[in-house]
Amino acid sequence: MNWRDFLPLASRLATGATESDWRSAVSRAYYAAFHVARRYFSELNFTVPRADRAHQYFVFRLGNSSEPTVEQAGRELDTLRRLRNRADYDESPALTQSQAAASVRLAESFVQTLDSARQEPSRTRMRDAMIAYERAVLRDVTWKP
């Protein structure tokens, strides 16, 4: 499965006519970003936890990556999750088409940022900063050489 395929789907859903379309767009946008993050961390040799612990795992590490654009992307992922939770679980207030479209744009920005972070020297600098954060702050090193 190419999780990036959720982005064009989310974009189409965001142009739909119903709130259920817009809520589904928010959910698909978040999961596109989430799974791109999972793949990225795997490529860097981090062992990502399963289930609900994975989201905070990404947010903490991206937020301590020493790359300002990636740190911002971590905040964007957190925003996307809050919006996804609202879209999937909260009946009111209503979710609007403009909120769905904004979520799609945020997910696209997140994916673009991580794609750029794959380039050296950013990739190594980021990885090393996240490893240092794991060691010094979290005391839970999930990176494997």
What is the rounded distance in angstroms from the CA atom of residue 70 to the CA atom of residue 15?
Answer: 28
Rg for the chain (alpha carbons), in Å?
16
pLDDT range class, residue 85, cuts 50, 70, 90 = very high
- For the stretch 118-131, pLDDT in tens is 999 999 999 999 99
What Å distances lie between residue 39 and 89, 90, 137, CA to CA? 26, 29, 24
Please provide the CATH number assigned to the domain covering 3-138: 1.20.120.330
Q: Give the pLDDT confidence score for residue 51 in this predicted structure.
A: 80
